[in-house]
Structure 1
Amino acid sequence: MEVGSVLGPFAAQQLLLGLETLSLRCERIGSNALKVARFLESDPRMSWVNYPGLERNEYHSLAKEYLTGGFGGVLSFGVKGGARASDILVDRLRIISNMTKLVT
């Protein structure tokens, strides 16, 4: 049984390995999210796109002020055509996965 506030050696090593590339991964995630948001924004099949990195976003100026390290990787969008069109889109996705947690 493990008790106490000290990490085991394997957990500590894994943590260090992940921290080495964290800033690079965060930059790449934000860059990719902005590209996806711009693509979706230009797609006529979308009714709206919400991402703070988009200039048209109502909170863009605040995001630029407070999110100095980038805008992050979370975005949302609405598909024209309602629930049926959204279901069709999700069924046709091949790259994006619907997950609650990603583990490497």
Structure 2
Amino acid sequence: MLSWKDAKLYVRYENNNIIESVFSNIFWIEFSISNIIKALKSSGIRENGIYISGDFYKWPKVKCYNWTTPNIIEFKVKTFFKSNSSLELTINEEVKAEVEEVIQRNITL
């Protein structure tokens, strides 16, 4: 749709608006690609923090954790405005012991 708008501007010889429109298109394309890449990354626990829903929390931002069910873990994290946020993550039973080890190594309660 953005390219169609550019084509219409070109046909009308509105050259000043073409440059502005091209830069606007580039911005929105990059923004879309960034969101697609975030969506493709799977949530999980890493050695240097937790990645959930496109956001990465380093271990110092994680205040505490709690297993709410045998395979769901809840994290309390410090967010940008210093308020607490609660995040849940489903863990496969096969890797639960490894996850617990990584968490205990990185979180001091």
User: Between Structure 1 and Structure 2, whose CA radius of gyration is higher?
Assistant: 2
Q: TM-score, normalised by structure 1?
A: 0.28
The structure whose RCO (Cα within 8 Å, separation 6+) is larger is 1
Q: TM-score, normalised by structure 2?
A: 0.27
